[in-house]
Amino acid sequence: MNRYDAIVVGSGPNGLAAAITLQQAGVTVLLLEGKETIGGGLRTAEITLPGYLHDICSAIHPMAVASPFMSQLPLQEYGLEFIYPDVAAAHPFDDGTAAVLKSSIDETAQLLGSDKTAYLELIQPVTNNWPEIAADILGPFHFPKHPLLMAQFGLKALTSANYLSRKFHTTKAKGLWAGMAAHSIQPLTNAATSAIGLVLMGAAHVKGWPVPKGGSSSIAQAMAAYFISLGGKIETNSYISSIDQLPAAKAVLFDVTPKQLLQIAGDRFSKTYTGQLQRYRYGMGVFKIDWALQGPIPFTAPECRQAGTVHIGNTIEEIVESERLAAAGIHQEKPFVLLAQPSLFDATRAPAGKHTAWAYCHVPNGSTVDMTAAIEAQVERFAPGFKDLILARHTFNTRQMESYNPNYIGGDINGGIIDLRQLYTRPAIRWSPYTTPAKGIYICSSSTPPGGGVHGMCGYHAARKALHDVFYIRTDL
């Protein structure tokens, strides 16, 4: 077997990012993937009917184009093409209207009527300052390069989304804000839930919310092709259950969560570190449906028929209650639903005239309750006639999600809850969250800062730490 300087275990976006960062610095890297195909959350497959391509996890990618790491990769040279919907996200209401998030911040604000000024005051600093603060937001806790700008962001980001919603007065603005913040996958009364809302809204105005042509797997394929062009090696069907299975290397980086890392590493860690990983907390899971459809979803609000993403939850009060109940272990009759409809913009996803869509709602971690009827009733509520268009469906409960991707513990697609306690201390309290007590062993998954999302920053930061510690190489974006 060839000798490699470093090994990366797991080929999700963070494993790929770590492998690329190391290889860019001249370190020879072997990337191992347990499944037949690479990608982690970046996989696309025909899981309903032949010819219908469904994204298994992520489908819409604002962070991939806004990420300081991902945005500097020449992925378009390796076949990646992004498509930008006219409306990034829409949020329908029972009266047939919808709030919308568009690429133009001024247009979005204008559509919010009397909340125009409040929206600009809240989001414009994020968009204006993104080039200066992005790396600080999407990284471990450290003294920021631009402390005043980060302080301005942090004062808002560390508040609860429910509290910050008081800046708005209209039902539209409050609902739009709640749908964005609900991507945090925790009760909106929790501190720091405003952070994800601010970042997602800001990202829409900085780079947009695109869909990758051909499916999310095209992102992974482009990253892999670039990595190989640098001299890297990928081996699939290489499931690692023990570190003893790995060939010798100076550094090993694991794109896994704390639960798997403990299983793989055995007794190599200190009792203190092991105890911290054992106490690491996972958040709510998701129940997901993929549909093959006879036609586009007939949303009552026309804006929803132009959006790549639709947040289905009506008012902020409904969304807050839905997320509270799910976090408390209760399944809801009217869950908050996140829906993506990429085939409206990418004709490669379905046969001519047909469509695909997916949706999920948050459920208690480990739930096996079938939420199909509840999710479809929510879609039908805002798109009468939707159920009549369903040709086939495929569902994932939380256990099936974890079986498909072991990083989704109990259906948690964020690699652990990103509340205030675990925002910067994930997965353990250390000077660097990417290191372990075992020399040369690092963790580079979404269980490290900045957490979930297709941005590659967890892998990038972990690789930089390994380059510094093991190979004595300094690198930066």
pLDDT at 152 over 70: yes
User: pLDDT confidence of 282, banded at 50, 70, 90?
Assistant: very high
Average pLDDT over residues 170-180: 98
Number of neighbours of residue 469 by Cβ within 10 angstroms: 17
Query: Residue 351: is the preceding peptide bond cis (ω within 30°)?
Result: no
Closest CA to 39 of 256, 227, 219: 219
Query: Which amino acid is it at 121?
Result: E
Region of residue 142 (left: phi > 0; alpha: psi -120 to 50; beta: else): beta
Token pair 């300052």 is found at: 129
| Measured distance CA(209)–CA(83) in Å, rounded | 9
Listed in order, the ranges of the chain carrying CATH 3.50.50.60 are: 6-80+212-281+413-469
Predicted TM-score (pTM) of the model is 0.96
Whether the CB-CB separation of 407 and 325 falls below 8 Å is answered with no
- How confident is the model at residue 475, as a pLDDT? 81
Give the tens place of pLDDT for each residue, 206-239.
Answer: 999 999 999 999 999 999 999 999 999 999 999 9
Token pair 């996989």 is found at: 43
Give the tens place of pLDDT for each residue, 89-141.
Answer: 999 999 999 999 999 999 999 999 999 999 999 999 999 999 999 999 999 98
User: pLDDT confidence of 2, banded at 50, 70, 90?
Assistant: low
CATH class, 83-209+283-404 region: alpha beta
Give the tens place of pLDDT for each residue, 259-281.
Answer: 999 999 999 999 999 999 999 99
Tokens of 196: 């994800």
| Measured distance CA(153)–CA(150) in Å, rounded | 5
Give the tens place of pLDDT for each residue, 423-454.
Answer: 888 999 999 999 999 999 999 999 999 999 99
Residues 6+ apart with CB under 8 A from 108: 100, 101, 102, 119, 204, 205
- How confident is the model at residue 141, as a pLDDT? 87
pLDDT at 299 over 80: yes
For the domain spanning 6-80+212-281+413-469, the CATH number is 3.50.50.60
Q: How high is the mean pLDDT of the chain?
A: 97
Number of neighbours of residue 318 by Cβ within 10 angstroms: 18
- Percentage above 70 pLDDT, the chain: 99
Determine the 3-state secondary structure of 254 from DSSP.
Answer: strand
Listed in order, the ranges of the chain carrying CATH 3.90.660 are: 83-209+283-404
